[in-house]
């Protein structure tokens, strides 16, 4: 007799959402988690704490530099860093206890400890202290997420040389923060510490920032970040970090090779990507196959090479995003219940939570060119939007890409205040196979930032009204 219909290993957004959906569908479910609290990377050391610090530091920046322009004098704001960290910790607590509550509500058993697959129907749980137990189950879902990618030759101590985890709990604002990698983590956390007073230098291997984001948008984004004081060293790589005079000495070389230079820094943040986390899971012994990048290999229904073992989230292929993991969690639970669970990988929004935000969904112009797809482009700047002017938030633009023949929307890209909210009207439209004209003919409330989305859709047909 199995103890459970389903055991989920890992309680991040993939795992906990999968458990809840499976319980809703009538399965008896357990979750195994090795951290002290549920919620995974996202709730404990990722999405949620970073957004708490992004918001708080944004308010600090607004009070110091934004409000005076609106005729609001508040004097020079004073940073209470411990207070800001308390805010972040309270936000984490509220979210992780929310997951514990949802487990209770849905009668999901939580088992704290390291999970290891002994066989397709057996999971061992090894707690920090005490004996390991073995649970029997009909099905296993691996949702063990990801971990920071190390930089060869650079040792992480999470005090001075940190990953995102250490960068979320620095005890003082660094004089100079050097960031390796101009990806999402580097630019979000660089924004946090830059607003709080650090000088920020970003060293990026490629000749551009945020690879994967539409080129036009990335260029404008970089200009905005530069204006905010962020320095970029593109086409460069960090080859070593050593302790020097109480600080750090960082060797930086051109990516293509050449003379190294040395840069002094107080803190180095290594944010060069994340890798799937499968340590201690016993996958090789259980016969679960991996792909060339160390990700658990699955078929279109999330089944691994072993019957009865499935995998979702950061540990499998695809973008490492919380909402992608969540949607896969729902899909696999529905598939296990005999339903038609499905994720549309063509419509997964992506948001960088800087100020302003960058958001995109669908294909970039570079991807369309590479695929030989003929398209029309519509662009609209926020400088021409009344609400943006009223709020002093005129930086950025909306860019729409639609199929040349059918007008079907293929991609939407926004850099601007509130981009992360606005992107969803394009996402919903694309989910229903809508056209740029459909969006352009949809009445948008005035005055809103979203009118720029409508105008960009009109611009696809060269008939923007306010430009």
Catalytic center residues: 446
In the complex with ligand FAD, the residue whose CB is nearer, 202 or 252, is 202
Examine residue 313 and tell whether it contacts ligand NAI (CB under 6 A): no
Examine residue 358 and tell whether it contacts ligand NAI (CB under 6 A): no
Examine residue 435 and tell whether it contacts ligand NAI (CB under 6 A): no
Which stretches of the chain bind ligand FAD, using CB under 6 A? 9-15, 32-35, 40-42, 46-47, 50, 114-115, 143-146, 164, 185, 277, 280-281, 313-314, 320-323, 325, 353
Q: Which does 40 bind (CB under 5 to 8 A by kind): ligand FAD, ligand NAI, none?
A: ligand FAD
- Alpha-carbon distance of 234 to 237, in angstroms, equals 8
What does the per-residue mask of binding to ligand NAI show for 218-237, with x meaning CB under 6 A?
Answer: -------------------x
CB of 164 to ligand FAD, least distance (A): 4
CB of 43 to ligand NAI, least distance (A): 13
In the complex with ligand NAI, the residue whose CB is nearer, 31 or 54, is 54
In the complex with ligand FAD, the residue whose CB is nearer, 320 or 414, is 320
CB of 15 to ligand NAI, least distance (A): 17
# residues contacting ligand NAI (CB under 6 A): 26
CB of 421 to ligand NAI, least distance (A): 14
Q: Which residue is nearest to ligand NAI (CB)?
A: 183
Judged by CB under 6 A, the residue of 16, 221, 310, 353 near ligand NAI is 353
CB of 420 to ligand NAI, least distance (A): 8
CB of 248 to ligand NAI, least distance (A): 16
260-279: which residues touch ligand NAI (CB under 6 A)?
Answer: 271-274
What does the per-residue mask of binding to ligand NAI show for 101-140, with x meaning CB under 6 A?
Answer: ----------------------------------------
- Alpha-carbon distance of 464 to 72, in angstroms, equals 35
Strand arrangement of the beta sheet that strand 397-403 belongs to: 350-352, 357-362, 409-416, 397-403, 375-381
CB of 86 to ligand FAD, least distance (A): 19
What is the 3 state secondary structure string of the chain?
CCCEEEEEECCCHHHHHHHHHHHHCCCCEEEEECCCCCCHHHHHHCHHHHHHHHHHHHHHHHHHHHCHHHCCCCCCCCCCHHHHHHHHHHHHHHHHHHHHHHHHHCCCEEEECEEEEEECCEEEEECCCCCCEEEEEEEEEECCCEEECCCCCCCCCCCCEECHHHHCCCCCCCCEEEEECCCHHHHHHHHHHHHCCCEEEEECCCCCCCCCCCHHHHHHHHHHHHHCCCEEECCEEEEEEEEECCEEEEEEEECCCCCCEEEEECEEEECCCEEECCCCCCHHHHCCCECCCCCECCCCCCECCCCCEEECHHHCCCCCCHHHHHHHHHHHHHHHCCCCCCCCCCCCCEEECCCCEEEEEECCHHHHHHCCCCEEEEEEEHHHCHHHHHCCCCCCEEEEEEECCCCEEEEEEEEECCHHHHHHHHHHHHHCCCEHHHHHCCCCCCCCCCHHHHHHHHHHCCCCCCC
Q: Which does 434 bind (CB under 5 to 8 A by kind): ligand FAD, ligand NAI, none?
A: none
What does the per-residue mask of binding to ligand NAI show for 319-338, with x meaning CB under 6 A?
Answer: xxx-----------------
Q: Which does 181 bind (CB under 5 to 8 A by kind): ligand NAI, ligand FAD, none?
A: ligand NAI
Q: Which does 32 bind (CB under 5 to 8 A by kind): ligand FAD, ligand NAI, none?
A: ligand FAD
- Residues lying near ligand NAI in the complex (CB under 6 A) are found at 151, 180-186, 188, 203-206, 211, 237-238, 271-274, 319-321, 351-353
């Amino acid at each position: 007799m199995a103890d459970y219909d389903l055991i989920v290993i890992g309680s991040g957004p993939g795992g906990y959402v999968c458990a809840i959906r499976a319980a809703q569908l009538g399965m008896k479910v357990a979750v195994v988690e090795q951290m002290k609290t549920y919620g995974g990377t996202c709730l404990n050391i990722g999405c949620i704490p970073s957004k708490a610090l992004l918001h708080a530091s944004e308010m600090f920046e607004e009070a110091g530099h934004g409000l005076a322009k609106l005729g609001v004098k508040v004097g020079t704001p004073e940073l209470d860093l411990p207070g800001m960290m308390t805010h972040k910790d309270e936000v984490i607590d509220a979210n992780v206890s929310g997951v514990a509550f949802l487990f209770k509500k849905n009668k999901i058993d939580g088992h704290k400890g390291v999970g290891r697959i002994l066989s397709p129907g057996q999971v061992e749980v090894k707690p920090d202290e005490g004996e390991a137990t073995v649970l029997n189950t009909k099905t296993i879902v691996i949702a063990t997420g990801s971990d920071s990618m190390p930089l060869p030759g650079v040792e992480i101590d999470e005090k001075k040389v940190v990953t995102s985890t250490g960068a979320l709990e620095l005890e003082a604002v660094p004089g100079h923060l050097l960031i390796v990698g101009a990806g999402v983590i580097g630019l979000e956390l660089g924004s946090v510490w830059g607003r709080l007073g650090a000088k920020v230098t970003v060293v990026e291997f490629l000749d551009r920032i945020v690879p994967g984001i539409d080129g036009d948008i990335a260029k404008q984004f970089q200009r905005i970040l530069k204006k905010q004081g962020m320095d970029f060293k593109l086409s460069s790589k960090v080859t070593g970090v050593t302790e020097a005079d109480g600080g750090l000495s960082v060797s930086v070389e051109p990516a293509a090779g050449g003379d190294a230079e040395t840069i002094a820094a107080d803190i180095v943040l290594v944010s060069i990507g994340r890798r799937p986390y499968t340590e201690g899971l016993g996958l090789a012994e259980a016969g679960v196959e991996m792909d060339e990048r160390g990700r658990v290999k699955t078929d279109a229904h999330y089944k691994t090479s072993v019957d009865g073992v499935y995998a979702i989230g950061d540990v499998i292929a695809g973008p490492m995003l919380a909402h992608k993991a969540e949607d896969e969690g729902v899909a696999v639970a529905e598939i296990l219940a005999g339903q038609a669970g499905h994720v549309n990988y063509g419509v997964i929004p992506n948001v960088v939570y800087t100020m302003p935000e960058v958001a995109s969904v669908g294909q970039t112009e570079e991807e369309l060119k590479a695929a030989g797809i003929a398209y029309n482009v519509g662009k609209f700047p926020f400088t021409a939007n009344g609400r943006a002017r009223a709020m002093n938030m005129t930086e950025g633009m909306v860019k729409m890409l639609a199929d040349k023949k059918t007008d079907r929307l293929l991609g939407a890209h926004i850099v601007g205040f509130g981009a992360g909210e606005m992107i969803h009207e394009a996402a919903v439209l694309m989910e229903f196979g809508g056209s740029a004209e459909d969006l352009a003919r949809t009445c948008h409330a005035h005055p809103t930032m979203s009118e720029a989305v409508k105008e960009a859709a009109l611009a696809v047909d060269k008939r923007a009204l306010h430009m």
